[in-house]
Amino acid sequence: MNKKLRSNFVRGTSPWAVRRAQWRALGFTDEDMEKPKIAVVNTSSKLAICFSHLDGVAEKVSEAIRAAGGLPLEVRTAAPSDFITSPGRRGGYILSARDLVTNDIEVVVEGAQLDGMVCLTSCDKTVPGHLMAAARLNIPTLMVVCGYQPSGEYKGEHCDIEEVFLAAGHTAAGKLPVEELADMADVSIKGPGVCSGMGTANSMHIATEALGMCLPGTAPVAANSDKMFADVAAAGKRIVEMVEEDLRPRDIMTPEAFSNSAMSVLAVSGSINCIKHLQAVAVEAGMDLNVYDLFDKLSDKVPVLAAVRPNGEDSIEAFEAAGGARAVMKQLGDLVNADAMTVSGKTMGENLVDATVGDQNVIRSRENAFSHTPPIVIVRGSLAPGGAIIKLGISQDRVFEMTGPARAFDTADEALDCIRNKGVKAGEVVVLKGLGLKGGPGMSTASRVVFALDGAGLGEEVAVVSDGQNSGLVNRGLVVGEVEPEAAIGGPLGLVEDGDIISIDARAKTVDLKVSEEELARRRERFQVRTSESGGGWLKIYQETVQPLSSGAVLTKRS
């Protein structure tokens, strides 16, 4: 190792002496203490199946780092799982945990002045949390994709966590017995890893490879497979080389790389949550880049090339076998920014030279795409002057527009009670207020209301508009989410009353409130900020510091 390492303190100084005392006690040799010191960022947790295997991954990547001449130092962070941490505080711990992970990494890695990071990236919020930390600290960093879980069967049909989540909405609507829901839950997951559909985790893994921040050909991958452990070993070797080369995240995370990443999400009809996460990464990298506008611009150019469940019938296993993210980028052809650098030390174009597509029916060509209609649209209008998002997916016979009277609710529980009691009627627009970043606080999910409407047979008959987020797995019906400005701080959504006419047109990318400016002005005069009680602690800090979605919902203002 020829490069001077920031972790090698001057001999005889206090930092050198006290660290030597600590590390001698850990069994490190003089030789060890001169090596590149690599943080192995591990989000292992026995609370959630998505993280349950990461201790084994940490061990394997540490072995590879040692063999390559580095010193692996395992560190731990929070391990948020949507399905486990969502019950507390109206779901406020879901999105807010992303930034907790980022800051946790900063404290440990920057505090100790380590030389590089390998991030064991798994469930939804750890992927962007790791990328944000990489962008902020700007030390050599490599993301390791830790795999998707195997799914089960129920009554002879495929059954995964998405079916369970959707079925829970049917139970909430009184249409599915609890016993049947329990039976589905018992067989839906057969091993460790992230949700097996094209939800936020797999979408972000693909986006990460397209961004250039994980080794080519590593996303997606079956958890604990031979392929995954081969990728893990390669990552351990490569991160030591990256420290020697001084290849840093901001050398990789260029505007061209973000364009590649956004295209990959659109090409697989990925999770809408990717947009705010990639925006947050751009902000942490100090970039003046509007990711929302980037998606809006690219959505009309990039066709949908893959239809993994729940977008279509293909499995994530079939998608991986067909070539995964690398094959998608290959099929995108000249749309790809080939000169964008990647963690491999090669450009995206160089990485794709020998890429092949294993099944042209699973990952299609642009000419034979599943859809040329944008799967994700950014809508704006008098109800969402700052923008909102609709996930359209690839169905061509879905509802694209609706105009109807509002049914406004201040909480998701109020809406669920109304649905259960058959109070919501076809043709209405359900408005869910106060689920946003500050209103939650932490951005609650509207998905359980969407799924309850589906269970009540109203999925295609009722639209939903909310300042909350939606599950990365699936949206049913015409759902407008992440409305800005949010209701709690006086956005137009907070002024909506029952009976107000709302018009949504996904093709025209508009969402409007048909109420006169004079009437809205009167309502604003009596409007009071209505943020939910944070209860103190982390959510209070988050509520007071979080920036708007247009800034990625980070905790630091744009410089």
On whether both 134 and 164 belong to a single domain, the answer is no
Considering only 326-330, 386-390, 407-411, 523-527, which range has the smallest mean pLDDT? 523-527
On whether both 483 and 465 belong to a single domain, the answer is yes
Global pTM value = 0.96
Q: In whole angstroms, what separates CA 210 from the centre of its chain?
A: 14
Give the orientation angle of helix 93-105 with respect to helix 126-137, to 10 degrees. 30
pLDDT value of residue 2 = 58
Q: Among 168, 190, 212, where does a domain finish?
A: 190
* pLDDT tens per residue across span 491-501: 999 999 999 99
Q: Which amino acid is at 547?
A: Q
Question: Of 490, 380, 499, which is closest to residue 438 (Cα–Cα)?
Answer: 490
Query: Whole-angstrom Cα distance, residue 335 to residue 508?
Result: 24
Query: Whole-angstrom Cα distance, residue 469 to residue 475?
Result: 11
Q: What is the mean pLDDT of the chain?
A: 94
* pLDDT tens per residue across span 265-280: 999 999 999 999 999 9
* pLDDT tens per residue across span 60-111: 999 999 999 999 999 999 999 988 988 888 888 999 999 999 999 999 999 9
Q: How far is residue 419 from each of residues 407, 422, 505, measured CA to CA in Å?
A: 11, 5, 24
On whether both 209 and 170 belong to a single domain, the answer is no
Name the strand (E) or helix (H) holding 505.
Answer: strand 501-505
**What SS3 state is found at 507?**
coil
Q: How far is residue 276 from each of residues 129, 288, 291, 443, 535, measured CA to CA in Å?
A: 12, 15, 8, 12, 26
On whether both 34 and 97 belong to a single domain, the answer is yes
Query: Whole-angstrom Cα distance, residue 390 to residue 378?
Result: 7
For the residues of 105-151, what is the DSSP string, one character each? HIIIIIHHT-SEEEEEE-STTHHHHHHHHHHHH-S-EEEEE--BPPB
Tell me whether residue 559 is in a domain. Answer: no
Tell me whether residue 234 is in a domain. Answer: yes
Tell me whether residue 4 is in a domain. Answer: no
Catalytic residues, which ones?
A: 471
On whether both 381 and 236 belong to a single domain, the answer is no
Q: Among 352, 368, 393, where does a domain finish?
A: 352
Residue 363 structure tokens:
């990952």
Where on the phi/psi map is residue 464: left (φ > 0), alpha (ψ -120 to 50), or beta? beta
Query: Whole-angstrom Cα distance, residue 248 to residue 345?
Result: 10
Tell me whether residue 273 is in a domain. Answer: yes
For the residues of 229-251, what is the DSSP string, one character each? HHHHHHHHHHHHHHHHHT--HHH
Name the strand (E) or helix (H) holding 207.
Answer: helix 200-211
Query: Whole-angstrom Cα distance, residue 518 to residue 482?
Result: 26
pLDDT value of residue 475 = 62
Q: Among 190, 211, 244, where does a domain finish?
A: 190
* pLDDT tens per residue across span 115-164: 999 999 999 999 999 999 999 999 999 999 999 999 999 999 999 998 99
pLDDT value of residue 363 = 98
* pLDDT tens per residue across span 174-189: 889 999 999 999 999 9
The CA-based diameter of the chain, rounded to the nearest angstrom, is 76
Tell me whether residue 540 is in a domain. Answer: yes
For the chain, give the percent of residues with pLDDT over 70: 97
Query: Whole-angstrom Cα distance, residue 371 to residue 386?
Result: 28
On whether both 26 and 160 belong to a single domain, the answer is no
Higher pLDDT, 100 or 173: 100
pLDDT value of residue 169 = 87
On whether both 124 and 161 belong to a single domain, the answer is no
Is the Cβ–Cβ distance between 105 and 73 less than 8 Å?
A: no
Domain count, the chain: 3
On whether both 341 and 411 belong to a single domain, the answer is no
* Domain assignment of residue 177, given as a range: 151-190
Bridge-partner residues for 341, per DSSP?
A: 347
The CATH number covering residue 387 comes to 3.50.30.80
On whether both 259 and 245 belong to a single domain, the answer is yes
* pLDDT tens per residue across span 371-398: 999 999 999 999 999 999 999 988 777 7
* pLDDT tens per residue across span 341-378: 999 999 999 999 999 999 999 999 999 999 999 999 99
On whether both 172 and 202 belong to a single domain, the answer is no
Mean pLDDT of 191-198: 95
Query: How many Cβ atoms from other residues are within 10 Å of residue 156's Cβ?
Result: 6
* pLDDT tens per residue across span 217-246: 999 999 999 999 999 999 999 999 999 999
Query: Whole-angstrom Cα distance, residue 546 to residue 6?
Result: 32
The CATH number covering residue 216 comes to 3.40.50.2300
Is the Cβ–Cβ distance between 468 and 432 less than 8 Å?
A: yes
* pLDDT tens per residue across span 437-481: 999 899 988 988 998 999 999 999 999 999 999 876 556 789 999
Instruction: Strands of 65-172 (E only): list them.
Output: 71-76, 116-121, 141-145, 152-154, 157-159
**What SS3 state is found at 24?**
helix
* pLDDT tens per residue across span 543-553: 999 999 999 99
Tell me whether residue 556 is in a domain. Answer: no
Considering only 3-17, 205-219, 245-259, 464-478, which range has the smallest mean pLDDT? 464-478
pLDDT value of residue 132 = 98
Give the orientation angle of helix 200-211 with respect to helix 324-332, to 10 degrees. 60
Residue 507 structure tokens:
């093709």
On whether both 441 and 335 belong to a single domain, the answer is no
* pLDDT at residue 15 greater than cutoff 70: yes
Peptide bond into 375 cis (omega under 30): no
On whether both 200 and 240 belong to a single domain, the answer is yes
Query: Whole-angstrom Cα distance, residue 481 to residue 471?
Result: 10
Tell me whether residue 532 is in a domain. Answer: yes
pLDDT value of residue 558 = 62
Mean pLDDT of 417-435: 96
Tell me whether residue 86 is in a domain. Answer: yes
For the chain, how big is the Rg over CA atoms in Å? Answer: 23
Confidence class of residue 173 from pLDDT cuts 50, 70 and 90?
Answer: confident
